[in-house]
């Protein structure tokens, strides 16, 4: 095979797939093309294809067509396959498929019910009842089961067999035998009666008809297929709703005048207005106004966030307060909403190793089942049993062995799980992540921006006797208001919040790394380190020295401040712990994880933060380039490590960890390197993400058991002639219904509040 590196990517909507073996056939055919790497997902009816140079999309489409299915690029499919509905909306191919299945199910059920009742209750078997059953059952077998017959015929033309082949063979065999018994055998005689048994009855079989089997199996499978199709639509509803969150129009400021324009016309740097109740059009920075932003629809965060000038806002969030003017910083595919949508789409399009195994089993299972059915028929005939008994046992094998639900066991749960995660602000990057969440026993938490807010804040003010705290905040806050240093900004912001408007500063000077000076309200004010104060010949009073030492012992920053030749206060600034971090640590412990705190800060600062949130193990004074080594060291000790971080310097460690979780509020590099992204930036969602992933994995394993176990258990019964085909059909349909309903239960997952 030619070694061609993929240069482009295309997603295809695939029509005509009815089971996992269909997806496996298409995937195998596409991957035969030199350089093409394809994944076909039955649950999403979508193929994800990487194309090398020299391979056109048309060649890929032709390969799908040659396999017996139809495909078209996703980008062009929406309009092409949609037609206006009566309600003025759009009817997609999926809508039409669901409606067709519903119509077939309803009509077939109404026709099958009297056939089934007459066959099971001898007292209702009036003269020539069998001919009435034939009249009622024929439309069900021919029209109701048409999708299965059509698929079986297409498969036959291409030399393949799928689940539909088994269904079509079983239903057709039961129906054709009934025709033989009615027109050639003894079943057409007036006064013919028959009984219903769970197991097969021995006899000549010339008077036995299986119209109730043919019709009821069709109804059961139609019900399972309808439920599956509806579940597939519901599974993708979360993603669809997410992608539709964005605003459609925006009030753009052009020369100070508002112009209502489509959101697509926005460019980076444009300023637009967001009024109360309106959605933020795109990611940006607030330049005017203050308000509260409701991000619950996007992130799951229930409490609105206060924003003002300089604050970042995300597209699709709702302005719950005053008027805002926002400058666009990201537009189109670069926005957080678009990136979330792409991450979820990629996750839903992927396949877990266990699903690939299920697909391979489905692909080879059908021919094996057909062979078993033929062998069963031959065995009973060779054993000397009548043709009817042998035939019925063979039909039961065909039907009970059909693992129709196997193809949806994994992808449906994955669809629902990732969709629910997206609603809660948890982005699962791919199905392979699920297994990792089960195995992890250690979680390493970056401190800054993960456990703490990542932003400096004023936490304490210590003043000498005779000095008012309000005076310190007003004068020092006015001085620091001119500073660009994060510590200075934190002091100024806290001062403004506590004492109101700050006075202006004159003759402002900043000495890098040491301190600032200036004239505020006619007073010469200084603020900074002790060394800076020594340059001004200012001595530190004992009580301030004690306060400074205590703060630094906790890893906090102590800023000395004074005026008129005297030091008057110590302002303590620190990266504050998030209010929810302690609860998050408790929840991670409850999940069986041992937390480690990882930081480049001093041991004193690290241990202080660790104690406040309940972490015993601390990795402090770690250089950014050494974070990777720390993760490897824990892994070499036999630990399965999850890493939670948000910064560029966390990217390598996130990639090295067995499970990487990035804060959505952090850097793009960290998000790209992680397996799970927590959009809210709330550490509690780390526990939610692991719980959701583990629950999704448990659901998948439960689905696979019920999708396949009943086949294995009942096959010997069917081959031994101890299972009525009608019961076999009901069991198969129940398996499909159970699998999809079990997956849909993931929609009830609740996040920690």
Q: Which of 210, 316, 328, 326 is nearest to 266 (CA)?
A: 328
Q: DSSP secondary-structure letter at 19? A: S
- 3-state SS of 355-375 is HHHHHHHHHHHHHHHHHHHHH
Indicate the SS3 state at residue 722.
Answer: coil
Q: Exposure of 390 by Cβ count < 10 A (0-12 exposed, 13-18 middle, 19+ buried)?
A: buried
Could you tell me which residues come within 8 angstroms of residue 551 by beta carbon, excluding any fewer than 6 positions away? 460, 557, 558, 570, 572, 574
Phi then psi for residue 258, to 5 deg, are -80, 135
Q: Which helix (H) or strand (E) holds 608?
A: helix 603-613
Compute the distance between CA of residue 747 and CA of residue 39 in angstroms, rounded to an integer. 26
127 has catalytic annotation: no
Q: Exposure of 363 by Cβ count < 10 A (0-12 exposed, 13-18 middle, 19+ buried)?
A: buried
Among 45, 283, 294, 446, which one carries the catalytic annotation? 446
Q: Which residue has the tokens 């629809």?
A: 297
Q: Which residue has the tokens 């999309």?
A: 57
Tell me the CA distances in angstroms from 585 to 217, 220, 434, 580, 683, one per residue in order. 53, 49, 21, 9, 8
Compute the distance between CA of residue 596 and CA of residue 619 in angstroms, rounded to an integer. 7
Strand order in the sheet with 46-52: 37-41, 46-52, 6-15, 70-73
Q: In terms of C-beta distances under 8 Å and separation of at least 24 residues, what long-range contacts does 89-95 make, across chains too?
A: 93/13, 93/15, 94/45, 94/229, 94/232, 94/233
Q: DSSP secondary-structure letter at 578? A: P
Q: Which two tokens stand for residue 200?
A: 């097969």
Q: Which residue has the tokens 């996703």?
A: 74
- 3-state SS of 22-64 is HHHHHHHHHHCCCCCEEEEECCCCEEEEEEECCCCHHHHHHHH
Q: Are 292 and 324 in contact (CB under 8 A)?
A: no
Compute the distance between CA of residue 568 and CA of residue 28 in angstroms, rounded to an integer. 77
Q: Which two tokens stand for residue 675?
A: 């397996």
Active site residues: 446
């Amino acid at each position: 095979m030619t070694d061609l590196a993929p240069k482009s990517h295309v997603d295809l909507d695939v029509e005509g797939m009815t089971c996992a073996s269909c997806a496996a056939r298409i995937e195998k055919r596409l991957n035969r093309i030199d350089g093409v790497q394809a994944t076909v997902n039955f649950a999403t009816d979508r193929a994800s294809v990487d194309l090398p140079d020299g391979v056109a999309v048309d060649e890929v489409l032709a390969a799908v067509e040659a396999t017996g299915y139809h495909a078209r690029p996703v980008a062009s499919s929406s309009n092409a396959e949609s037609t206006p509905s009566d309600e003025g909306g759009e009817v997609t191919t999926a809508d039409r498929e669901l409606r067709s299945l519903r119509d077939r199910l309803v009509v077939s059920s109404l026709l099958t019910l009297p056939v089934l009742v007459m066959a099971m209750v001898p007292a209702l078997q009036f003269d020539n009842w069998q001919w009435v059953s034939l009249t009622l059952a024929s439309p069900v077998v021919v029209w109701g089961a048409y999708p299965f017959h059509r698929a079986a015929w297409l498969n036959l033309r291409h030399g393949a067999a799928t689940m539909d082949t088994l269904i079509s063979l079983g239903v057709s065999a039961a129906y054709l035998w009934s025709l033989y018994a009615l027109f050639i055998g003894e079943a057409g005689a007036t006064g013919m009666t028959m009984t219903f048994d769970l197991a097969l009855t021995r006899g000549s079989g010339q008077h036995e008809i299986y119209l109730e089997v043919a019709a009821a199996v069709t109804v059961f499978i139609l019900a399972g297929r309808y439920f599956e199709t509806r579940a597939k639509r519901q599974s993708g509803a979360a993603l669809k709703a997410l992608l539709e969150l964005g605003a459609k129009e925006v009030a753009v400021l052009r020369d100070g005048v508002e112009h209502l324009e489509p959101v697509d016309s926005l460019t980076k740097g444009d300023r637009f207005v967001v009024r109360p109740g309106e959605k933020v059009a795109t990611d940006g920075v607030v330049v005017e106004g203050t308000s509260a932003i409701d991000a619950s629809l996007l992130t799951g965060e229930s409490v609105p966030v206060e924003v003002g000038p300089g604050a970042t806002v995300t597209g699709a969030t709702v302005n719950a307060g005053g008027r805002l003017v926002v400058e666009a910083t990201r537009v189109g595919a670069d926005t957080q909403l678009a990136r979330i949508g792409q991450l979820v789409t990629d996750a839903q399009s992927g396949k877990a190793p266990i699903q690939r195994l299920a697909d391979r089993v489905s692909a080879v299972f059908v021919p094996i089942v057909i062979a078993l059915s033929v062998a069963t028929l031959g065995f009973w005939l060779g054993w000397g049993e009548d043709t009817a008994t042998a035939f019925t046992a063979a039909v039961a094998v065909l039907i009970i062995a059909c693992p129709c639900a196997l193809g949806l066991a994994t992808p449906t749960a994955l669809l629902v799980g990732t969709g629910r995660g997206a609603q809660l602000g948890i982005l699962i990057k791919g199905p392979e992540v699920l297994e990792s969440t089960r195995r992890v026993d250690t979680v390493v938490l970056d401190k800054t921006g993960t456990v703490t807010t990542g932003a400096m804040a004023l936490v304490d003010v210590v003043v000498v006797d005779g000095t008012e705290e309000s005076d310190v905040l007003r004068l020092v806050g006015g001085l620091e208001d001119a500073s660009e240093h994060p510590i200075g900004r934190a002091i100024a912001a806290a001062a403004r919040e506590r004492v109101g408007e700050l006075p202006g500063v004159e003759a402002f000077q900043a000495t890098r790394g040491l301190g600032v000076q200036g004239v505020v309200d006619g007073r010469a004010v200084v603020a900074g380190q002790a060394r800076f104060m020594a340059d001004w010949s200012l001595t530190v009073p004992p009580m301030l020295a004690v306060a400074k030492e205590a703060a630094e012992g906790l890893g906090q920053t102590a800023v000395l401040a004074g005026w008129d030749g005297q030091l008057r206060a110590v302002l303590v600034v620190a990266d504050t712990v998030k209010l929810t971090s302690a609860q998050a640590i408790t929840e991670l412990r409850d999940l069986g994880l041992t937390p480690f705190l990882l930081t480049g800060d001093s041991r004193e600062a690290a241990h202080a933060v660790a104690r406040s949130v309940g972490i015993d193990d601390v990795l402090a004074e770690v250089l950014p380039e050494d974070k990777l080594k720390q993760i490897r060291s824990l892994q070499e000790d036999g630990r399965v490590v999850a890493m939670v971080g948000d910064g560029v310097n966390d990217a390598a460690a996130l990639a090295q960890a067995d499970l990487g979780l990035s804060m959505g509020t952090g850097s793009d590099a960290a998000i790209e390197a992680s397996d799970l992204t927590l959009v809210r930036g709330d550490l509690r969602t780390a526990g939610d993400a692991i719980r959701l992933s583990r629950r999704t994995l448990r659901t998948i394993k439960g689905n696979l058991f019920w999708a396949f176990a009943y086949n294995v258990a009942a096959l010997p019964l069917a081959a031994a002639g101890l299972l009525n085909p009608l019961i076999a059909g009901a069991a198969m349909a129940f398996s499909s219904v159970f699998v999809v309903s079990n997956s849909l239960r993931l929609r009830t997952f609740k996040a920690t509040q």
